[in-house]
Amino acid sequence: MDEPMSFFRNREAIESRRRKQKRIFIDERAIFYLNLHIHCAVGIDNPTLYPTVSRRHYFVRFWVKPDEGERFTTNTVEGRLDPCWNQKGMILLGNTCDDYDFLYVEVVREGPSVEPETSDCYTVVGRANVPLPMEVNAAKTESIGLVRFKDGEVKGEGFIVLSMELQKRTLSPRYLFG
């Protein structure tokens, strides 16, 4: 008989705690952001190597989670060898930045493809994995080498210039009412 009584006592205690938890206090929480400024690319898609490419419109696709999550893009700009986006943005990383190691970047050309393996009119002309900043509020601007996969080989071709800064914002404590 002790077994059923202890079950009901535990259940009453749980219900009593739930009634008392109508107002929940949330401690201060940190939210991490990656401030990103994509400046330009230099020396990509060389016209002497790709003479059949006449329309050269580029955008940058970037993300922080390798297999999931949102992918972001810049506006499309026209450029020969050195397209310039000069775009700023912010990526929300959440309560921790430990889950993120790299900013994944691809420079993409829009238009008719000269590569037979792409039929969707988008060609990745360079990509890079950029280590995220390790220190909060320490901005860095870098020129990062891009690689291109061509004929089963990885070739270095051009650079992308970008600035990154990891920021931490502390939210004030607040009450939630349930």
Look at residue 87 in the predicted model and tell me its pLDDT.
Answer: 96
Cβ pair 45, 56 in contact under 8 A: yes
Alpha-carbon gap, residue 105 to 146, rounded angstroms: 9
- CATH for 99: 2.60.40.150
Provide the mean pLDDT of the chain.
Answer: 78
In terms of pLDDT, which residue wins out, 68 or 82? 82
Alpha-carbon gap, residue 15 to 36, rounded angstroms: 48
> Per-residue pLDDT averaged across 34-52, rounded?
85
Alpha-carbon gap, residue 88 to 62, rounded angstroms: 12
User: Domain span at residue 138?
Assistant: 29-171
Q: What is the pLDDT of residues 111-151, one digit of tens each?
A: 765 555 555 678 898 999 999 988 888 899 999 999 988 77
Q: What whole-number percentage of the chain has pLDDT above 90?
A: 35
14 lies in some domain? no
- Does the predicted TM-score (pTM) go above 0.85? no
24 lies in some domain? no
